[in-house]
Amino acid sequence: MSGNDKLQRLNIELTSRCNYACAGCPTHELLRGKGSMDTELYKVIFDEIGNDIERVFLWGYGEPLLHPKVTELIRYAKSFSTRKVMSTTGWELKDLSDVESLTGLDELIISINGITPEVYAQHQINGDLKKVICGLERIAPILNDSKTRFVMQTVVHKGNIGQIPQTEDFARKYGFDMLVIKSFNVMNR
């Protein structure tokens, strides 16, 4: 491919499983099966396009850190020139076996939609803000010494709108490079 025909971005859903039931997300209503992407298929995709595409988003409706070989997948993709971006709830960061692998990403986005446990639980149902914070404390020093851009994403909803002024302080406290505040969009299945 060349010129305007070049593929610019690709989403790879590492897993269709999610431990959250976020407001507005159709993951638990989708009729498709639950599972994880085959590791060899992932490698074939990167071998074919990993240097010929602008960016690869490593998520879909599922929680990418639930893939049983997620750190192996991130490490495999590290040598390819495409920008690798992952978005996660952050729930698995506390227990992730190989946190150094996250430095293979160009950008890691953590979705945190409330900065107190009560408000967080209003939108990120089944989530545990305290566990996410433990994970942030674990990975922030590693990411701060890397080239990985560490982004906090907050979806504004009626429960957290009053916390928006304090959200910037929260992001700074936990080592984020950037804070992105987004509007709430209900996703249809």
pLDDT in tens, 33-76: 778 899 999 999 999 999 999 999 998 888 899 899 999 999 99
> Predicted confidence band at 16 (pLDDT cuts at 50, 70, 90)?
confident
Mean pLDDT (whole number) for 78-89? 95
Q: Which of 185, 182, 129 is nearest to 151 (CA)?
A: 182
Are 94 and 135 in contact by the 8 Å Cβ rule? The answer is: yes
> Predicted confidence band at 177 (pLDDT cuts at 50, 70, 90)?
very high
Are 114 and 123 in contact by the 8 Å Cβ rule? The answer is: yes
Angle between helices 70-77 and 39-49 in degrees, nearest 10: 20
pLDDT over 50 (residue 189): no
Mean pLDDT (whole number) for 80-105? 95
Tokens at 48, concatenated = 């074919």
Q: DSSP character for 25?
A: -
Query: Can you give the pTM of this predicted structure?
Result: 0.89
Residue 31: the pLDDT is: 67
Tokens at 96, concatenated = 């992730």
Task: Write the CA distances from 53 to 49, 66, 77, 112, 145, integer angstroms.
Answer: 6, 25, 13, 29, 26
Buried b (16+ CB within 10 A) or exposed e, 24-48: ebebeeeeeeeebbeeeebeebbee
Residue 30: the pLDDT is: 66
Residue 126: the pLDDT is: 78
